[in-house]
Amino acid sequence: MGKADLHIHTDASDGDCTPYEILEKAIEKGLHTISITDHDTIKGYKKARNSDLSQEIELLPGVEMSVRWGEKEVHLLSYCFDPDDEDVNILLLQQSGARRRRMARIVETLQKQGIDIDMDEVKAEAGFSNIGRPHAASVLMNKGVVASFNEAFIRYLSSEKLDHINAEYCTLSEAIRVMKKAGGVLSLAHPGPLYSSDEIEQMIDIGVDGLECIHPSHPYPVQKKFTKLAENRHLMITGGSDYHRPSKSGYEPYFGIVTLGEQYVEALKRTSRQRKALKNYGDNG
Ligand code: AMP
Ligand code: ZN
Ligand code: FE
Ligand code: FE
């Protein structure tokens, strides 16, 4: 049975590797299926899809969206949607805009704290990537404001420190509506300790199809708890390494190690096929 990794970042968002490098590594590790799930962009996925290496591995369309749900910001994984769907692409462009505006406000807040940083520096760090807090963290680190990436988050960039800065991301319902219309299947990313059972039930009621049971932040009992919940509620089960970059020692954290069984990938693909077939039936009827 082949192994899958359905949670990987590239330099199209806040990862270090190019989509091509991700394909090379995944093939080398013997993975059967992967999904590139950058933050609010599918540019990395599209580059991978258009490269010659995409013939040597199964590559599923994917994205990790940041969405608003009440007071919370939720990471929502979407898979197997039509990546050329107009509404999906419009929604992701809006998400990129929301990211840029949020970063401008984060930079302002840092400046008010007396930190020497400006938006152009963060934009230069991000380059063509979808901008995010890790780019600001790199700027702070390169300028010696902090000694490490982690310190940047602890002292300045964690959600708690930036409590009053909410991005204008789309809502959970809007993301679900647009993605499902394009045949997408939605999974709640790394639920770990982030939500109560009640909150998870509510998100399932809104239309979330599955849970990311397998994630590096989930110790085995947590993985088991979510797998059981998913099975009881007939939900999809997804998982992956959430890989961003090699560690300083050269070790690739969890890449090729935290993986998902093919049977779950098959269920995901089947659900998407059914969704697309139903839509075509509806469109023609
Ligand atoms: P953003 O997309 O701007 O909300 O930034 C979220 C990303 O920042 C996550 O996907 C992680 O890659 C990274 N991140 C969040 N918290 C930390 C942390 N404490 N240390 C290092 N990286 C973090
Ligand atoms: Zn990230
Ligand atoms: Fe996430
Ligand atoms: Fe992620």
DSSP conformation letters of the chain: --EEEEEE--TTTT-SS-HHHHHHHHHHTT-SEEEE--BT--HHHHHHHTSGGGGGSEEE-EEEEEEEETTEEEEEEEES--TT-HHHHHHHHHHHHHHHHHHHHHHHHHHHTT----HHHHHHHHTTSPP-HHHHHHHHHHTTSSSSHHHHIIIIISTTTTTT----PPBHHHHHHHHHHTT-EEEE---TTTS-HHHHHHHHHHT--EEEEE-TT--HHHHHHHHHHHHHTT-EEEE---B----TTS--TTTTTS-EEHHHHHHHHHHHHHHHHHHHHHHH-
Expressed in angstroms and rounded, the spacing between residue 189 Cα and the centre of ligand 3 is 6
Cα distance between residue 143 and residue 253, in whole Å: 26
Q: What confidence score (pLDDT) does residue 1 get? A: 66
For 218, the domain range is 3-92+183-284
Question: Does residue 53 form part of some domain?
Answer: yes
What is the CATH classification number for the domain harbouring 77? 3.20.20.140
CB neighbour class for 122 (10 Å; exposed up to 12, middle 13-18, buried from 19)? buried
Question: Does residue 140 form part of some domain?
Answer: no
Expressed in angstroms and rounded, the spacing between residue 157 Cα and the centre of ligand 1 is 8
Question: Does residue 52 form part of some domain?
Answer: yes
Mutate to test the pocket of ligand 1, among 153, 158, 243 (most ligand atoms within 8 A of CB): 153
Residue closest by Cα to atom 2 of ligand 1 = 132
Instruction: State the CB neighbour count (10 A cutoff) for residue 127.
Output: 9
Cα distance between residue 123 and residue 195, in whole Å: 32
For the chain, how many structural domains are there in total?
1
Q: What is the pLDDT along the chain (285 residues), one digit of tens a residue?
A: 699 999 999 999 999 999 999 999 999 999 999 999 999 999 999 999 999 999 999 999 999 999 999 999 999 999 999 999 999 999 999 999 999 999 999 999 999 999 999 999 999 999 999 999 999 999 999 999 999 999 999 999 998 888 778 789 999 999 999 999 999 999 999 999 999 999 999 999 999 999 999 999 999 999 999 999 999 999 999 999 999 999 888 889 999 999 999 999 999 999 999 999 988 887 876
Cα distance between residue 151 and residue 39, in whole Å: 22
Nearest to 91 by CA among 179, 11, 165: 179
Expressed in angstroms and rounded, the spacing between residue 187 Cα and the centre of ligand 3 is 12
Nearest to 233 by CA among 213, 218, 214, 219: 213
Residue closest by Cα to atom 6 of ligand 1 = 133
Expressed in angstroms and rounded, the spacing between residue 137 Cα and the centre of ligand 1 is 9
- Let me know: does 262 contact 2? Beta carbons within 8 Å: yes
133 CA: nearest ligand 1 atom = 3
Question: Does residue 200 form part of some domain?
Answer: yes
Question: Does residue 227 form part of some domain?
Answer: yes
Expressed in angstroms and rounded, the spacing between residue 65 Cα and the centre of ligand 3 is 8
Question: Does residue 150 form part of some domain?
Answer: no
Q: What confidence score (pLDDT) does residue 285 get? A: 60
pTM here? 0.97
- Let me know: does 81 contact 88? Beta carbons within 8 Å: yes
- Let me know: does 68 contact 166? Beta carbons within 8 Å: yes
Question: Does residue 97 form part of some domain?
Answer: no
Q: What confidence score (pLDDT) does residue 176 get? A: 98
134 CA: nearest ligand 1 atom = 8
Nearest to 159 by CA among 118, 112, 120, 194: 194
Q: Which residues line ligand 1 (CB under 6 A)?
A: 14, 39, 66, 132-134, 149-150, 153, 244
Question: Does residue 119 form part of some domain?
Answer: no
Expressed in angstroms and rounded, the spacing between residue 244 Cα and the centre of ligand 2 is 7
39 CA: nearest ligand 1 atom = 2
